[in-house]
């Protein structure tokens, strides 16, 4: 509306992400893998899922869908890139137990179904804890952790640009 009146775009100074999975949200430092717990890929949070459906935590574009379907990258409308890494050691499953519902280049809205994972199958062969990390430089983040969350609904992360 302001753009039409004054010819200016509204400046986005933060984005809010909702949970991509149903379960419990914890700090990324609790992930039993130093790549994530030591924030080598970026800061973030992680999910202990109780449901195998993964949805978009923010609107944007799918910029990376790994061939093994165990990880997906989303670039938000503000240009921030996020990585959802479904489980640990899941790359070795070579896509078994995962079904992708999107492709690289697709535009998604909050809550759109991204990937379905057979949690029981993954739990037998790997770990189901799922990190969500910010792989872009940002100003600061606020985490709302250590609680039960519902995919596509519960706000879990505020990213200040």
Closest CA to 44 of 161, 152, 158: 158
Active site residue 85: yes
**Exposure of 140 by Cβ count < 10 A (0-12 exposed, 13-18 middle, 19+ buried)?**
exposed
Catalytic residue among 14, 85, 101, 160: 85
Name every residue whose Cβ is closer than 8 Å to that of residue 61 and which is 6 or more positions away in sequence: 74, 75, 105, 106, 107, 108
Which residues are tagged catalytic?
85
């Amino acid at each position: 509306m302001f753009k039409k009146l004054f010819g200016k775009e509204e400046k986005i100074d933060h984005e809010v992400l909702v949970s991509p999975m149903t379960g419990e949200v914890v700090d990324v430092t609790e992930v039993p893998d130093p790549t994530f717990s030591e924030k080598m890929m970026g800061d973030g949070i992680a999910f202990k899922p109780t449901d195998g459906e993964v949805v978009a935590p923010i609107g944007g574009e799918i910029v990376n869908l790994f061939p093994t379907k165990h990880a997906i990258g989303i670039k938000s409308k503000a240009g921030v890139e996020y990585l959802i890494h479904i489980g640990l050691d899941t790359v070795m499953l070579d896509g078994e137990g995962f079904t992708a519902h999107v492709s690289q280049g697709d535009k998604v809205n909050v809550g759109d179904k991204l990937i379905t994972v057979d949690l029981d199958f993954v739990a037998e062969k790997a770990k189901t804890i799922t990190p969500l990390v910010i792989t872009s430089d940002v100003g600061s983040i606020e985490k709302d952790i250590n609680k039960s969350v519902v995919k596509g609904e519960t706000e879990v992360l505020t990213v200040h640009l």
